C-alpha cells in the first residue's frame, strides 16, 4: 500500500472505508459457510439414506472446497508487491520536475532515471510513463490503483470481491479461484439436482429432510446454479486472457510500445508460452495455488524483442512526464499537452 493509503487509514473516515471494503469478502464467506451447512448437514447427513454414497459425496465436496478456499485466501492475502527504489525519483528531483517551466526540462530530469531502466511501454505521446502520485517511473504493465493507493505490477484490475488488486503476484491464484469456484458450484448443483427434482415431483412433505432443511436444499441448488452461470463467463474470459497474454486493462486499452506503437498482442508469445508465463512450466504446480509464474513483474518478453533491444536496456529513451493517468485525472502540466 502507498503512504497516502496509510495516512487515510489513521483517520476515522479512512478506518471506516477500510472496514467497508471487506464487506464483499464477508458476504462471499457467509455464502460459503451457509452452503457448507446446507450441503453437509441438510443434504448429506440428514437427507441421504445411502451412507456409502454420502461418504463419496462428502469426500469430493471437501476436496473441491479446500482448493476453492485455498485459492481464494491466497488471492486475498497476497500483497501487490513493492516497486524497487531504483524506479523512484528522489524528492528533490520531483520538486524540480514539478517546478519545471518547459516539457524539455521535464524530459531531461526524467531521462536521467528512465535511461537505465528496462521500460518498453510509452504513453500516447511517446513518452516514458511516470506516476505523479507514487513519484516513480512505471514498469511495463504497471498501473496506479486508486483503491490501493499505489502502483501495482502487471495490474489486471481491482476486484472488490477479494479486496485486492489482481496483479502479477496473485493472478494465478485468481484464475484458480474462479476455476475452483465454478467446479464447486457445478458439483453442488449436480449432486443436489436429484433432491431438487424430487422437491417438485413428489412434494416437499415427502422428502427425508424436514422443516427448513427442505428449503435449504432448494435454495442451495438455485444459488449454486446462479453463481455457476456468472462464473463460467468470467472464468472463460480470464482463460482467454491468459492464452493471449493480456490483462483486463490491456484488453480495453492496448499497451503502447517504443517500437511498434499500440499493440494488444505485444506480449503474445504463443498459447503455451503465455500459459507458462502465468502457471509455470512444471505441471505439478499448475492446479495448486502456489507461486510458479515466470519473471519478476517488472520486465516481460515481447514479440518484437529483437527490434526493441535498446529500449529493454533503457538506452535513448524519449522521456517526458506522463500526462495520462491510469484513471484519467486532470493533467498537472497543461503546457506540455501537444
Looking at the structure, tell me whether residues 59 and 9 fall in a common domain: yes
* pLDDT tens per residue across all 338 residues of the chain: 444 444 455 677 777 888 899 999 999 999 999 999 999 998 888 877 788 989 999 999 999 999 999 999 999 999 998 899 889 988 888 888 888 777 777 777 777 778 889 999 988 877 788 898 999 999 999 999 999 989 999 999 999 999 999 999 999 999 999 999 999 999 999 999 988 777 766 654 555 555 566 788 889 999 999 999 999 999 999 999 999 999 999 999 999 998 888 999 999 999 999 999 999 999 999 999 999 999 999 999 998 654 444 444 444 433 333 333 443 333 333 333 33
The CA distances from residue 26 to 13, 66, 85, 319, in Å, are 20, 18, 35, 45
> Would residue 13 show up in a list of annotated catalytic residues for this protein?
no
| Per-residue pLDDT at 211 | 55
* CA-based torsion, 196, 205, 219, 34: positive or negative: negative
- 332 found inside a domain: no
Looking at the structure, tell me whether residues 236 and 168 fall in a common domain: yes
Looking at the structure, tell me whether residues 121 and 187 fall in a common domain: no
Looking at the structure, tell me whether residues 63 and 171 fall in a common domain: yes
Catalytic residue among 134, 145, 150, 159: 159
Looking at the structure, tell me whether residues 187 and 245 fall in a common domain: yes
- 260 found inside a domain: no
Cell 535498446 belongs to: 310
Q: Which residues contact 307 (CB under 8 A, 6 or more apart)?
A: 259, 260
| Per-residue pLDDT at 122 | 86
Cell 499497451 belongs to: 255
Q: Measure the CA–CA gap between 274 and 280, rounded to whole angstroms.
A: 9
3-state secondary structure of 224: helix
- 284 found inside a domain: no
| Per-residue pLDDT at 138 | 93
Looking at the structure, tell me whether residues 229 and 101 fall in a common domain: no
- 110 found inside a domain: yes
Looking at the structure, tell me whether residues 166 and 246 fall in a common domain: yes
Looking at the structure, tell me whether residues 76 and 97 fall in a common domain: no
Residue ending a domain, among 250, 270, 303, is: 250
* Cβ(192)–Cβ(79) below 8 Å: no
**Per-residue pLDDT tens over the stretch 17-44:** 888 999 999 999 999 999 999 999 988 8
* Cβ(113)–Cβ(96) below 8 Å: no
Residue-number span of the structural domain to which 41 is assigned: 3-80+162-250
Torsion, Cα of 30, 146, 140, 295 (10° steps): -30
- 209 found inside a domain: yes
Q: Measure the CA–CA gap between 199 and 309, rounded to whole angstroms.
A: 66
Cell 441448488 belongs to: 221
What number of residues does the chain have? 338
Looking at the structure, tell me whether residues 34 and 128 fall in a common domain: no
Residue ending a domain, among 226, 250, 274, is: 250
Residue ending a domain, among 210, 229, 250, is: 250
3-state secondary structure of 325: coil
Q: Strand 136-137 relative to strand 143-145: parallel, antiparallel, unpaired?
A: unpaired
Alpha-helical runs (H) found in the chain: 3-9, 12-20, 23-36, 51-77, 91-99, 103-114, 171-201, 212-244, 248-252, 271-279, 309-313
Q: Measure the CA–CA gap between 271 and 276, rounded to whole angstroms.
A: 9
Looking at the structure, tell me whether residues 76 and 167 fall in a common domain: yes
Looking at the structure, tell me whether residues 237 and 198 fall in a common domain: yes
Q: Strand 150-152 relative to strand 143-145: parallel, antiparallel, unpaired?
A: antiparallel
- 238 found inside a domain: yes
Looking at the structure, tell me whether residues 65 and 171 fall in a common domain: yes
- 298 found inside a domain: no
Nearest to 115 by CA among 319, 259, 334: 319
- Domain tally, the chain: 2
- 266 found inside a domain: no
Amino acid at each position: 500500500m502507498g503512504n497516502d493509503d496509510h495516512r487515510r487509514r489513521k483517520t476515522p473516515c479512512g478506518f471506516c472505508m477500510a472496514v467497508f471494503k471487506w464487506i464483499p469478502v464477508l458476504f462471499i464467506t457467509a455464502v460459503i459457510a451457509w452452503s457448507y451447512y446446507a450441503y453437509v448437514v441438510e443434504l448429506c447427513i440428514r437427507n441421504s439414506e445411502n451412507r456409502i454414497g454420502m461418504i463419496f459425496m462428502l469426500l469430493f465436496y471437501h476436496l473441491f472446497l479446500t482448493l476453492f478456499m485455498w485459492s481464494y485466501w491466497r488471492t486475498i492475502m497476497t500483497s501487490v508487491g513493492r516497486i524497487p527504489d531504483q524506479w523512484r525519483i528522489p524528492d528533490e528531483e520531483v520538486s524540480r520536475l514539478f517546478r519545471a517551466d518547459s516539457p524539455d526540462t521535464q524530459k531531461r530530469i526524467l531521462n536521467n532515471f528512465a535511461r537505465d531502466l528496462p521500460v518498453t511501454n510509452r504513453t500516447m505521446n511517446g513518452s516514458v510513463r511516470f506516476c505523479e502520485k507514487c513519484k516513480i517511473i512505471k514498469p511495463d504493465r504497471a498501473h496506479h490503483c486508486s483503491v490501493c493507493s499505489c502502483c501495482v505490477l502487471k495490474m489486471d484490475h481491482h476486484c472488490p470481491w477479494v479486496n485486492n488488486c489482481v496483479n502479477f503476484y496473485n493472478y494465478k491464484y485468481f484464475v484458480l479461484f474462479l476455476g475452483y469456484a465454478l467446479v464447486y458450484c457445478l458439483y453442488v448443483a449436480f449432486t443436489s439436482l436429484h433432491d431438487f427434482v424430487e422437491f417438485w415431483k413428489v412434494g416437499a412433505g415427502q422428502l427425508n429432510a424436514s422443516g427448513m432443511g427442505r428449503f435449504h436444499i432448494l435454495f442451495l441448488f438455485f444459488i449454486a446454479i446462479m453463481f455457476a452461470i456468472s462464473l463460467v463467463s468470467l472464468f472463460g474470459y480470464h482463460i482467454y486472457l491468459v492464452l493471449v497474454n493480456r490483462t483486463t486493462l490491456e484488453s480495453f486499452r492496448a499497451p503502447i510500445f517504443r517500437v511498434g506503437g499500440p499493440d494488444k498482442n505485444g506480449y503474445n508469445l504463443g498459447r503455451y508460452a503465455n500459459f507458462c508465463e502465468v502457471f509455470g512450466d512444471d505441471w505439478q504446480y499448475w492446479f495448486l495455488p502456489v507461486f510458479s509464474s515466470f519473471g519478476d513483474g517488472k520486465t516481460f518478453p515481447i514479440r518484437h524483442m529483437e527490434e526493441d533491444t535498446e529500449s529493454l536496456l533503457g538506452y535513448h529513451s524519449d522521456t517526458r512526464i506522463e500526462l495520462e493517468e491510469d484513471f484519467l485525472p486532470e493533467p498537472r502540466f497543461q503546457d506540455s499537452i501537444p
